[in-house]
Structure 1
Amino acid sequence: MGCQYNLLFLFLCGFAALSVSTETCGKDLLVGTSCIIKLTTENKEKPSEIKWFHETRNGYILRWKGGTIREISEGVSMEEDGSLKFSSVSLKDMGKYTFSAFNDAGEEIGKGEVEIKVYEKAPKPAVKIICTKNGNATLTCDIGKREDLTLSWYKEDKIIENVKNPQVSLSSTEVQENKPYSCEAHNPVSKGKSESVTVSCSNPGLSNLICIDIWVMVSILAGGGALLLLLICVLILCAYRSSRQRTKQQQDKKEFRLTELTPGHTSTNNSEQTTREQPAAPIL
């Protein structure tokens, strides 16, 4: 019974090892891929010396002899059969790789060359609409500063153009009003597609005129409001001064009436009036 469990355990372990085994490097790779460049020899003879050379780095990236690794670069390792393994490829790993294998007598028993290309993941682009004065539209596909991508333009989800230069825009003669457009950026290992955008650039002159009229109206209203505020201030000042004058006149009248009703003030006035009425005495 225990033997059966052991066999089952070994089978599961072997299955798991196969499921996570690294694949052979293809020609086009996505950044971060783990893969192996296979080494082959004549007549399956086991080599005693292996050399891996990378043209871009201009030197050996792995050199093995007599069971010992004499030289190795970062990010690579050697399999039991002499194959070159990448833990995670990057852009610097792009280029041609050559290998040479030798037996104990120093005779070359295997050689080969493999070229790989590494690409970054394609971003999700965005469509930008540029409206001209005559009402036409030019579409651009914003992918940042990437130069390694090919663009495809879609109208109503149907491809209409492929552009290898990502800086080329969709000209106004190819764009129709009120139609949905999208673009897709892709390379051999990944792609990203934008959201659909409906083109609308009708009557840009009228739109600009309306915008200008609105600003004129705002300016007029602002000037009129300032004039109205000044007029209100003048009216308030005039009303205040008029109120003060009326108050002063009422106070003067009240004081005059009180003076007339005072007894001393009346007799004095009468005596002065009698004196003025008597004729002057003749001069002798």
Structure 2
Amino acid sequence: MSCQYSLLFLFLCGFAALTVAEICKTELLEGTSCTLKLPTTNTDKSSEIKWAHGSSNAVIQRKNNKNKSNTPGLTLEEDGSLTFESVSLKNTGKYTYTVFNSDGTLIGAGEKEINVYAKAPKPTVKIDCKGADVTLTCDIRDRTDLTVSWYKDNTIQTEKKTKLLLTSAHIQENKPYSCSVSNPVSNEQSGIVTVSCTGTTGDGSGPRKLFGFDLWIMVSILAGGGALLLMLICVLIICACRSCKKQKKHEQDEEELRLRVFQDEAHTGTARSKHTARGQPAPPIPQEDTTPQTPTQTQTQPKAQTRSRPPPPPEDDEENPPPLPRPRNKQHRKRHEEPYRPME
């Protein structure tokens, strides 16, 4: 078991040494580990070595066999080389080095430059239809370090801009388009798109219109108006149904009231005719004074001649009233009367 662990440890150390031993190139991808080699070879532990980064004031040096650094992620090797654990965009720039021997004599000086780039993102192609022309845009997310290339049917085009203008003739070709972005350390390509503007006529003359306006705008307006009209019709139907229910209930209440009145009259026996025998309305029933009177009031007040209310005529007389009496004719009366004779 110890032998296996020893072999694994040696393998990992060798892999780490190979990784660190990679020399930094001029163009680096962000996150790469590399080493800037010191060209001077006649150095030892007693030599004084200093690396300085001008843009970030990063300084790492070895003096009196002690290493000093004000920047994390940077280490100084025994031979004086500068190692980056993981380069970032802020590590871009020039690095100057100076080497002194133990006597303080300058034995080497120079500079090295590195450029760090972020990985290129995968672009997307956006289509913008304007009349008969179409504009293709390669979306690179506000990156300025990328170079754009256009492809038509897998053939690279001469345009190197983020936007590509296509005429109606290009649209009728119905060819696939794509774009790619690249920097010195990475590149990515977008998906393939076929130019077809929704809402355009077949000849590419422009977007469809309805009543002089855009088709989809008019469709939205008409749909909203139709929904509003349907809602209004539903409200009217509901109001009409409620009104019919109220009217029907009112008629039922009136019918019940009539039946109740007839039942009360039949039960009390106070039903009377509404018309007299001559067809005239019957007089109202006088209400008797039910308030009790004191003996003094009965003595002082004269007795009024009370008349009993005539009984109502029979129901048959209401339908056939008796004929009115006619005046007698004078001639008829004289005929039956004896002539006046004076006494002799």
How high is the TM-score relative to the length of structure 1? Answer: 0.74
Deviations 1:168-217 (A, max 9, x none): 41123495353322222211111222222221123342166533553464
- 1:199 matched to 2:195? The reply is yes
2:179 to 152, 171, 183: 183
- 1:169 matched to 2:171? The reply is no
Q: Can you give the 5+ residue segments of structure 1 that lack an aligned partner in the other structure?
A: none
Q: Partner of 1:148 in structure 2?
A: 145
Q: Partner of 2:65 in structure 1?
A: 67
Question: In the TM superposition, what are the counterparts of 1:118-137 in structure 2 within 5 Å?
Answer: 118-132=116-130, 134-137=131-134
Greater mean alpha carbon deviation, residues 150-159 or residues 5-14: 5-14
Is contact 2:98-2:106 (8 Å) kept?
yes
Q: Partner of 2:104 in structure 1?
A: 106
Question: In the TM superposition, what are the counterparts of 1:195-234 in structure 2 within 5 Å?
Answer: 195-201=191-197, 202-203=200-201, 204-206=206-208, 209-215=214-220, 217-218=222-223, 221-222=226-227, 225=230, 228-229=233-234, 232=237
- Name whichever structure is richer in strand by fraction: 1
Deviations 1:48-68 (A, max 9, x none): 11111211124x611212211
Q: Which amino acid aligns with 1:121?
A: K
Bigger CA radius of gyration: 2
Q: Can you give the 5+ residue segments of structure 2 that lack an aligned partner in the other structure?
A: 274-311, 329-344
CA distance in 1 between counterparts of 2:101 and 2:225 reads 96
Is contact 1:137-1:175 (8 Å) kept?
no
CA distance in 1 between counterparts of 2:133 and 2:191 reads 21
Distance 1:169 1:280, change over 3 A: same
Is contact 1:153-1:183 (8 Å) kept?
yes
Q: State the identity %.
A: 37
How high is the TM-score relative to the length of structure 2? Answer: 0.63
Give the CA deviation at 1:218: 2.9
Distance 1:185 1:267, change over 3 A: same
- Name whichever structure is richer in helix by fraction: 1
Greater mean alpha carbon deviation, residues 170-179 or residues 60-69: 170-179
Secondary structure in 2 aligned to 1:214? helix
Is contact 1:22-1:34 (8 Å) kept?
no
User: Pairwise CA RMSD of aligned residues?
Assistant: 4.3
